Amino acid sequence: MIRDVLYSKKWIMEWYKPATVEEIQQVEKELQIVLPKVYKELLFLSNGVLGNLVKLYTTGELIEMNKTYEVQAYAPGYVSIGNDHGGYHLLMKAEEDVVHFQLVSDGYGIPVESDVTDHFLSWLNSDEGDPWRNE
């Protein structure tokens, strides 16, 4: 499902080799979270994605960025899966069946209702790859 969506998008500038099960398990172990299934599916196709308006993290970057920004301390129960190249993180609840992300400013903390929210697969399927498209 994600495969069909992603491989046709012009906004995606760079693909990476797929993540391994062990790499994904290492992220969950080090961050003590559960990655959303929909993000794991992406990682199994491409270990991160570089887009013209967004960076979706590789397994190594997931660990590094979530620790650097102390996401689990400031937004418990969430994981940063990427950023917009300009000071905003794409946060998802660290739960298996979550399908939405929220765009949250660095240092902002727990997402609130007014944050830009989008359905992950619908956003991936958009033509522009802009995390702000629903603002």
pLDDT in tens, 4-15: 656 667 778 888
2, pLDDT greater than 70? no
Domains in the chain, ordered, with CATH? 2-125 (3.40.1580.10)
Global pTM?
0.89
Structure confidence by residue, pLDDT tens digits, 42-95: 999 999 999 988 999 999 999 999 999 999 999 999 999 999 988 899 999 999
DSSP 6-72: HTT-TTEEEE-PPPPHHHHHHHHHHHTS---HHHHHHHHH-SSEEESS-EEPPHHHHHHHHHHTTHH
Residue 91 neighbours by CB distance under 10 Å = 25
- Please give the angle made by the CA atoms of 43, 84 and 42, to the nearest 5 degrees: 10
As given in the structure block, the two tokens for residue 68 are: 């650097």
